[in-house]
Chain A
Amino acid sequence: MSLLSNTGALLGKEIRTEFRSRELLPTTVVFIFIVIALFSITLHPTTSESQRLGPGLLWVAFLFAASLMLQPSFLREQNNDTLSALRLSVSDPFAIFFAKLAANTLFLLLTELLMLPFFAAFFNVHILSVFPQLVLVFFLGSLGIAIPGTAFSAISAQARMRELMLPLLLLPLLTPVLIASAEATAALLEADPALPLGALGILIAFDAVFLTALWLFGEYLLEE
């Protein structure tokens, strides 16, 4: 019970911090927008090409954006010297990760959904009829990005060259998420859309494996 109430309180703190400073969401939205637009300008795809390339490019854009957006998650605590206070305030250190990862998933999902109409317009794909299924894929994918992303944000906050370190650690590890999410999105955008269970299975397995790993090893990431 204390894990849930602690997590709830910390999640409230994360969301309040973001909505007071309004730093992460607007910059990430603009960043994804720029990347999607640049892909579209550079490749200038036809309708059939954009159905084939679009989902992959969209997820590459999300991955790049996430590797920048997850950076401040722990860096902010370190710069303000609030990490020790956080650790003293909760009985289970996993609550810190749980809250940060919930907040990061939420922020990622929000930016992704905001970008969806622009993606649909640039790449000429129809999204309205499969919107609920897309939200499911986006949620599982964002969770998959946020779990190792939050963990590695705690690591990279302590390293030199931290801005480069996080993408370097995170992007190769996210290969399964990238492939499965792009495949699932592509299957949903086809003329005859179907929810690909194999890809969803990979996403769920990825989320479960790394959530368990974070639960087992998270406390060591907070050592000073």
Chain B
Amino acid sequence: MVKTVFGAAILFVMIVVTAYLAFHYAPIEKTMGVIQKIFYLHLPSAFSSFVALGVCFYANLRYVFTREAKWDWLGVSAAEVGLAFISVVLISGPIWAHPVWGIWWTWDARLTLTFVLWLLYMAYLLLRSMLEDPDKRALFSALFGIFAFLDVPLVYFSIRWWRTQHPQPVILGGPGSGLDPRMRVSYLLVWAAFTGLLVLLIDARYKLEAMRAGVEELRREAEVR
């Protein structure tokens, strides 16, 4: 509890500092103007969501092979937090795209992939709510999660041969790409803050899930008596 509060306090300070850096320290982008500030929300959210879904996949695999409830708790926590971050990506993206590309949405490879991921993990969470038995819920949702994760590269490559509107990566995009150093510092700090937020949220959700499982267990015992 103390650790969580302490972590949250540090994170709060980090987010305030990075917000200041993003809006006042980093220069305004030349062609896109002030709208480019969404970059500091859009990109780290996308990164956090992919990390969360990776964690979910790992937890799903571990659950199938070990059958320890904690992996199920981690799986659902990571999926929910990942879904929240994907939602941020899907909302901030069009707000950025509309003034820059002139359209809200296009079915380009990365946009489609993000959208399909949102649908898949929504289905994952809905499936969980439709399975009564805790063991079955854990096992079947873990198996679905594994199938869903395997789909990610296939979705991406199936759309790659269409035109791709989304910009190529600028952070690690090789020679010729790159950011203003002040933008880079701000971005790295935002990224660190969002990774911290990801860890904090998954941790909190994991504890909640453990408690919920405990309550469910107690209720079943009470019913037996």
Contact = CB atoms under 8 A, between A and B. Distances in A.
Interface string B98-136: 000000000000001000100110010011001110001
Contact of B144 (A155, A160, A179, A180): A155
Interface residues of A, number: 29
A173 B127 CA distance: 14
B147 A168 contact: no
Nearest to B141: A155
Nearest to A154: B140
B127 A158 contact: no
A209 interface: yes
B55 interface: no
Interface of B: 64, 112, 116, 119-120, 123, 126-127, 130-132, 136, 139-140, 143-144, 146-148, 150-151, 154-155, 157-159, 161
Given A155-B144, A159-B130, A220-B64, A176 B136 contact: no
Given A168-B123, A173-B148, A220 B143 contact: yes
A209 B130 contact: no
B116 A165 contact: no
Q: Taking chain B's interface residues, is the majority helix, strand, or loop, or is none over half, making it mixed?
A: helix
B222 to A, nearest CB: 23
A222 to B, nearest CB: 11
Contact of B150 (A152, A210, A223): A210
A176 B146 contact: no
Interface string A154-183: 010011111001001100110110011000
Contacts of B157: 176, 202, 205
A185 B36 CA distance: 40
18 contacts: A151-B143, A155-B127, A155-B140, A159-B127, A160-B130, A165-B130, A168-B123, A168-B126, A169-B123, A172-B119, A172-B123, A175-B112, A175-B151, A176-B157, A176-B158, A179-B158, A202-B154, A213-B146
A209 B159 CA distance: 17
A173 B159 CA distance: 14
The 3 closest A-B pairs by CB, nearest first: A172-B119, A176-B158, A159-B130
B145 to A, nearest CB: 11
Contacts of A172: 116, 119-120, 123
A202 B109 CA distance: 14
Contacts of A168: 123, 126-127
Contact of A173 (B130, B136, B147): B147
A168 B119 CA distance: 9
B151 A169 contact: no
A176 B64 CA distance: 26
A213 B153 CA distance: 15
Contacts of B64: 217, 220
Nearest to A196: B161
Interface in A122-149: 148
Contact of B155 (A175, A221, A223): A175
Nearest to A216: B146
B147 A202 contact: no
Contact of B127 (A165, A205, A210): A165
Given A172-B123, A173-B147, A220 B154 contact: no
A127 B87 CA distance: 43
A210 B147 contact: yes
A98 interface: no
Contacts of B147: 148, 151-152, 173, 210, 213
